Structure 1
Amino acid sequence: MEAAKSVLGLSLFSIFQLNLVVSAADIYSRNDFPPGFVFGASTSAFQYEGAATEDGRTPSIWDNFTHPGNMHGANADIASDGYHKYKEDVQLMAHTGLDAYRFSISWSRLIPNGRGPVNMKGLQYYNNLINELIRNGIQPHVTLLHADLPQALEDEYGGWINRKILRDFTAYADVCFREFGDRVLHWTTLNEPNVFVLGGYDIGFLPPQRCSASSPLNCSKGNSSTEPYMAAHNILLAHAAVAKLYKKQYQDKQHGFIGLNLCSYWFVPLTNTTKDVIATQRANDFYIDWYMHPLVYGDYPSSMKKVAGSRMPPFSNYESKQVKGSFDFIGLNFYLTMYVKDYPSSLEMEHRDVLADMALELLLFQYNASTFEYPILPWGLKRFLEHFKEAYGNPPIYIHENGQRTRRNSSLEDWPRVEYLNAYIGSVLDAIRNGSNTRGYFTWSFVDVFEMLDGYESSYGLYYVDMDDPDLRRYPKLSAKWYSEFLKGKSMDRNGVIQLNDTSFLDAQFTH
């Protein structure tokens, strides 16, 4: 403990007082949210579990991506060691007061070859985790695939650019529904396919690192002009196939729900010119409507089809009917609001990728590069939720990820994260009061994990994981204290001072 305290330059037994001013004019508490509204926190298998080669697990595309040292020399072989420390972490969840925990299943831990025999050790781990959550009154919300496709399937037939993936993903989902569905009521098929497709098949900076040879990253394989559209198409068809399976064979017996997750942004025109306003709509089309339009209306946005032409695979009538309406809820990951600037010259390129098809530039609002912190703009989330209500018929929504990024070893007194959570949870309440059908909020992340953009350079956790401690001991940050106080009913003043003078919550954690 002393080592961790000295590294962070923090006296944990000092009195915390937070002077917090945010843009709203009322006091709110969790009691102001609708009955049944769920508050939780999230992690994902690859980023949290570790135990990369234990008990029959085989590599995913993320294991192969990180081992050459692509992430500042770091990998997730150990990560937060959730594979061994899940019981301790569930106790922290219960102490914090979480209603729910969102996590993903490692496909290559459960079915090491991507298809075929189930790994009984992997099956036992997820059964143990789910049972531990249930015993502590915490709802399990499960994502089937959080980007970590088994490397075996990528090697065999190219993963998501091959329609064979539909069969294997559906068979994997069938195992999960059959084995865990008696206790899991909320299933998400895939996490952030819109980011996965752009990062993995267009730009190539994420696995499976496919892009055109002319790309700045000079990938060894891939085609940025066609493969992102192919992968997205197969993802939508696979999601629809899994949703059909669940609804046909399991939903009546298990009484659960199934949905898809998207990374979401609120886009704002850089200027009030017509060209930037139109570019902003185009940004929504390419980032959100690419997936939501087929899910709600059965086809891609006309603007995308016009620009991409024959590079965008068409839906058959049968496929359109399968995809349309194939969700009970939508999960959204929201962190940022961005300016949009028109960039029409990219459409003049002879061999365009998806980014060129967008014909726009995205610009961050003020961002603190020295601290890694995101700007706190809660109105962006509120407006996005209200837009979602108007554009897609107000479907049930779960905020699956929302949180503040900081440098990993900055401080346990993570004031920016407290301010961020306070502001954005308040914005969710504002959107609900304006009619949004948002039903849950999960902060990213419960503990510090391996981050998929920069390894262990940054963190989002409520709990710090001491990577220099062989036991990877957890330490609560101030945000854990704040979230716990909120979850236990304390009112939050969104236009004044929040005082966190009681350190007993923090002190109690160090007695474990």
Structure 2
Amino acid sequence: MGVTAFFYILLFLWVHDAAAIIGFTRSDFAQDFVFGAGTSAYQYEGAVAEDGRSPSFWDTFTHAGKMPDKSTGDIAADGYHKYKEDMKLISKTGLEAYRFSISWSRLIPNGRGAVNPKGLKYYNNIINELVKHGIQIHITLHHIDLPQILEDEYGGWLSPRIIEDFTAYAGVCFREFGDRVKYWTTVNEPNIGAIAAYGSGQLPPGRCSDPFGITKCTAGNSSIEPYIAVHTTLLAHTSVVKLYREKYKAEQKGVVGINIYSYWSYPFTNSTVDLEASQRSKDFMFGWILEPLVSGDYPEVMKKNVGSRLPSFTKIQSGLIKNSFDFIGINHYFSVYVNDRPIERGARDFNGDMSVYYRVSRTDPPAGQGAPTNVPSDPKGLQLVLEYLKETYGNPPVYVHENGVGSPNDSLNDTDRVVYLSSYMGSTLDAIRNGVNVRGYFAWAFMDLFELLAGYQSKYGLYHIDFDDMRRPRQARLSARWYSGFLKKNGSSLLVSRTHEDLTLNTVS
């Protein structure tokens, strides 16, 4: 037998054995289900002061030294200059879809009014490259990336004035890109984004108040402003959806949704109070955004507990916001335990004011409670989130917009990431088999980026970037090769074997 023939027989056995071991192949998912990966503008592009881009509130935040590693996104992955290389890499990897965001500051530097021709050209170039390579395009209009000029003028998402400006910005995107883009997300993570930006102060504009600020804030009110920001965001989202449906949908035939951050909440114990706290966590995490979109109003438990600090919708607003979505995107990384113990005075918790109503822990519960161990990596939690969305909100179309694991390790041999991604993809398939209307799965991230909470301290990329090298070279990690093999060969290019509770990777040499 010739060497070449032997190689192909080995490759055939390799791929099919791997598929059997991990329990699924690409063909187990529907043909129109999409697998992809994602980035976002500030985390990827760099070139923050080039070609007419104005500062976003990220530039202000990072240049004030607010990141844990004192880093900035001034260069980031240098995607502004390397996008052609990256679009080819997306195609070479075999991705079926790519999710990215538009920098409002690059497209419309003054926040409203004139469009920046160089910014417009940049995004048209990216879109055209993706179309050329047959990649489905998913665009997020606002990935926690606001023009600083609007923050200065009226306080950004704390002011209803942003509704008109955001709608006009979205209209420019629909007009200029909608002939090629069919999947639009208005806002990324308004739930956790509002908490981190206006509750704990960890994201721009970095507003908070004691005892909830994790960073040092000079202004803000953690018990009021997160609720105002989300309320304004929901009204802006509704306005954008209305615009698209009335002016663009008939011709462009696209869909518009919103994205939320998610984690699954296990009760810390089986006590009644912890079970109730776990449900409150879900109502505050999911219901805060989704209940208005489905029923036209906030969850009853939020209205009861938050009281007058929670803004209310007028009857007209309620009617407009109800059913103002075509899909829901979720970002999911881990599960948590929740108990009823209120936050101690002076303690600091990422969930800010919401810690008054439930407390989140990422540590194991008391022995014998029946919840799984090692919850921060809990594939079953993603399945439970997806099934909860089906049961609670009428089984809307769902995209897993972000799922991944970060590491301070720069290693190319990221076996832990392959294990993580394959297990969460498997839990997504389990949810689909249980009737959940999941339409796609996107790994976070396509390459190492400026991470919004960790700067360059944590690496999430399928592709490694050397941030000490001004050329920002890309290098495939094991996870990129595995994902590529899964998509291209209807299986996997790596054997993933399960021994008791351990997952290990074995390469074929």
Equivalence for 2:341: 343
In the alignment, is the contact (CA less than 8 A) between 1:466 and 1:472 conserved in 2?
Answer: yes
Equivalent runs, 1:315-326 vs 2, <5 Å: 315-326=313-324
Q: Which amino acid aligns with 2:403?
A: N
> What is the distance in 1 between the residues matched to 2:205 and 2:468?
30
Judge conservation of contact 1:269–1:277 (CA < 8 Å) in 2: yes
Match of 1:40 among 30, 36, 42: 36
Name the residue aligned to 2:487: 487
Runs (5+) with no aligned partner, structure 1: 1-17, 367-372, 503-512
Partner of 1:128: 125
Match of 1:233 in 2: 231
- The DSSP-based 3-state class of the residue aligned with 1:327 is coil
Instruction: Note the alpha carbon deviations across 1:152-186, whole angstroms, 9 max, x for none.
Output: 00000000110000000000000000000000000
Instruction: Find the aligned partners of 1:57 and 1:339 in 2 and give their Cα distance.
Output: 42
Deviation of 1:35 after TM superposition, in Å, equals 2.0
Distance of aligned partners of 1:363 and 1:96 in 2 relative to their CA distance in 1, 3 Å threshold = same
Deviation at 1:346, TM superposition (A): 6.5
Deviation at residue 26 of structure 1 after TM alignment: 6.3
Distance 1:112 1:221 in 2: 26
TM-score normalised by length of structure 2: 0.89
Distance 2:31 2:478 in 1: 27
1:26–1:480 distance in 2 versus 1, CA, 3 Å = closer
For the 8 Å contact 1:408–1:456, the answer to whether it is kept is: no
In structure 2, relative to structure 1, the CA distance for the partners of 1:38 and 1:310 (3 Å cut) is: same
Matching residue of 1:475: 475
Amino acid at match of 1:379: K
Q: Which amino acid aligns with 2:72?
A: N
Question: C-alpha displacement at 1:25, in angstroms?
Answer: 7.9
Measured in 1, the distance between the counterparts of 2:344 and 2:398 equals 34
| 1:195 positional shift | 1.3
Q: Percent identity?
A: 55
Partner of 2:387: 386
Verify: 1:300 aligned to 2:298, yes or no. Answer: yes
**Contact 1:482/1:500 (<8 A) preserved:** no
Distance in 2 (CA, whole Å) between partners of 1:299 and 1:382 is 26
Residue of structure 2 equivalent to 1:68: 64
Residue 407 of structure 1: SS of its match in structure 2? Answer: coil
SS of residue paired to 1:417: helix
Secondary structure of the structure 2 residue equivalent to 1:143: strand
C-alpha separation in 1, matches of 2:330 and 2:359: 22
Q: Is the 8 A contact 2:343 2:359 kept in 1?
A: no
Cα 1:213–1:390 change in 2 (3 A) is closer
Farther off after superposition, 472-481 or 356-365: 356-365
8 Å contact from structure 1 (residues 192, 261) kept in 2:
yes
1:450 aligns with 2:450: yes
Residue in 1 that maps onto 2:421: 421
Task: Say which SS state the counterpart of residue 395 (structure 2) adopts.
Answer: coil
Q: Deviation at 1:466? A: 1.3
Corresponding residue pairs, total = 471
**Could you tell me how far apart the structure 2 residues matched to 1:163 and 1:293 are?**
21
Give the equivalent residue in structure 1 for 2:332: 334
| CA gap 1:264/1:105 in 2 versus in 1, 3 angstroms | same
Q: How far is 1:377 from its partner?
A: 1.3
- Is the contact between residue 174 and residue 244 of structure 2 (CA under 8 Å) also seen in structure 1? yes
Matched residue type, 2:480: A
**SS of match in other structure, 2:218:** coil
SS of corresponding position for 1:289? helix
Q: Is 1:396 aligned to residue 397 of structure 2?
A: yes
Displacement after TM superposition at 1:214 (Å) = 5.4
What letter matches 2:507 in structure 1? L
Q: Contact conserved, 2:208 with 2:222, CA < 8 A, in 1?
A: yes
Does the 8 A contact of 2:104 with 2:142 survive in 1? yes
Residue 107 (structure 2) aligns with: 110
Separation in structure 2 between the aligned mates of residue 486 and residue 136 of structure 1, nearest angstrom: 19
Amino acid at match of 1:458: S
Counterpart of 1:252 in structure 2 is 250
Report whether the alignment pairs 1:501 with 2:508: yes
Q: Would you say the 8 A contact 1:55–1:121 is kept in 2?
A: yes
Question: Which residue among 359, 362, 372 is the counterpart of 1:361?
Answer: 359
Q: Is the 8 A contact 1:213 1:221 kept in 2?
A: no
Query: Which segment drifts farther, 210-219 or 191-200?
Result: 210-219
- For the residues of structure 2 that align with 1:498 and 1:408, how far apart are their CA atoms? 18
Q: Distance in 2 between matches of 1:447 and 1:354?
A: 31
TM-score (norm 1): 0.88
SS in 2 for 1:250: helix
**Which residue, out of 164, 169, 180, partners 1:167?**
164
Taking a change above 3 Å as real, the CA distance of residues 196 and 375 of structure 1, as seen in their structure-2 partners, is: closer
Q: Deviations over 1:354-381 (max 9, x none)?
A: 5256422111146xxxxxx984311111
Give the CA RMSD over aligned residues: 2.2
Could you report, residue by residue, the CA deviation over 1:299-354 in whole angstroms, capped at 9, with x for unpaired residues?
0000000011111111111100111100000000000100001124779x9xxx95
Q: Deviations over 1:226-249 (max 9, x none)?
A: 211111100000000000000110
Q: Distance in 1 between matches of 2:163 and 2:146?
A: 13
- Say if 1:333 and 1:401, in contact at 8 Å, map to a contact too: yes
Query: What SS is found at the alignment partner of 2:237?
Result: helix
Q: Identify which of 139, 146, 164 aligns with 1:149.
A: 146
Shift of 1:280: 0.3
SS in 1 for 2:111: coil
How far, CA to CA, are the matches of 1:500 and 1:260 in structure 2?
Answer: 39
CA apart distance, 1:498: 5.4
Conserved 8 A contact 2:267-2:339: yes
Which amino acid in the other structure matches residue 200 of structure 2? I
Say whether the 8 Å CA contact 1:337–1:380 is kept in structure 2.
yes
Distance 1:494 1:342 in 2: 39
CA distance in 2, matches of 1:359, 1:394: 27
Amino acid in structure 2 at the alignment position of 1:121: K
Contact persistence 2:36–2:442 (CA under 8 A): yes
Task: Tell whether the 8 Å contact from 1:28 to 1:494 is kept in structure 2 after alignment.
Answer: no
Q: Which amino acid aligns with 1:424?
A: Y
Query: Do 1:283 and 1:358's aligned partners in 2 also have CA atoms closer than 8 Å?
Result: no
Q: State whether residues 38 and 402 of structure 2, in contact with CA within 8 Å, keep that contact through their aligned partners in structure 1.
A: yes
Where does residue 438 of structure 2 map in the other structure? 438
Q: 1:26 to 1:212 in 2, by over 3 A?
A: closer
CA–CA separation in structure 1 for the residues paired with 2:120 and 2:375? 38
Deviation at 1:289, TM superposition (A): 0.5
1:439-474 per-position Cα deviation (integer Å, ceiling 9, x unaligned):
000000001000011100111000001122221110
1:440 counterpart letter in structure 2: G
Q: Is the Cα contact below 8 Å between 1:236 and 1:323 reproduced in 2?
A: yes
One-letter code of the match for 2:114? P
- Aligned CA distance change for structure 1 residues 494 and 177 (closer, same or farther; 3 Å): farther
1:39/1:188 CA distance change after superposition, 3 Å: same
Does 2:79 correspond to 1:82? Answer: yes
Point out where structure 2 has 5 or more consecutive residues left out of the alignment: 1-13, 365-373
